[in-house]
Amino acid sequence: MPAISSRKPYRIGRSRTGLGLFATKPIKKGDTIIEYFGPLLDSRNEKHDAIENKYLFALNGRWTIDGSTRRNVARYINHACRPNAESDVQPRNRKVFIVAIKNIQPGEEIKYDYGKEYFDEYLKPIGCKCDHCEKKRKLARAEARAAKAGTGNRAAGRATTKATTKAKSKARTKAKSGTKASAAARSRGTGKRGSKAPR
């Protein structure tokens, strides 16, 4: 791992996604944090055009920075869909700088958006692990659990309602048959009384 001067406002450290770059001093919005550097690759050169790795940073249609060298400490900055930094691409100078777009506190991880092309090729297939996407997934899981529990409760509620309705129906049927039996008994009793009527 490259040695980083203590004057630098960042350090390499453990992140949820592997290694990351963390602020060691307050970084103000608009401050240039670090340069993303490495050998320049020319897309017109077949050997250069064949190079593939996750640290390529396109400057324009022709020039790309190969940031895979370990001396390029900026390569440790992780992606975030809601970042606190961004890349300042300067194609004419063939340079890229990472600039703070928010105030960054000591201990906070420095992150920037890698862009749609990188996201679609490398992050989307495995699922983005930035804080914003993790929160969205956590919320979706909680909603799914609540919906499932709600469905279970509704199903249980429907079963209880069905059982209650069935029990009430049975009670009504029983009451009706009891009423019919007593009515029949009364009518039979009346008939008997009629037969026992005075002679």
What are the pLDDT digits (tens) for 97-132?
999 999 999 999 999 999 998 999 988 898 899 989
Residues 77 and 67: their CA atoms lie apart, in Å, by 12
Percent of the chain whose pLDDT exceeds 90:
54
pTM of the predicted structure, to 2 decimals: 0.68
The neighbouring-strand residues paired with 63 are 42
Rounded average pLDDT over 170-178:
59
Considering the domain architecture, whether residues 30 and 111 belong to the same structural domain is answered as yes
> Which residues, at least 6 apart from 9, have a Cβ–Cβ distance to it below 8 Å?
23, 24, 25, 26, 27, 31, 33
The domain of 158 spans 130-172
Considering the domain architecture, whether residues 160 and 83 belong to the same structural domain is answered as no
Considering the domain architecture, whether residues 98 and 16 belong to the same structural domain is answered as yes
| Number of structural domains the chain divides into | 2
Instruction: Please give the structure tokens belonging to residue 195.
Output: 């037969």
Bridge pairing between strands 95-100 and 32-36: antiparallel
Considering the domain architecture, whether residues 123 and 136 belong to the same structural domain is answered as no
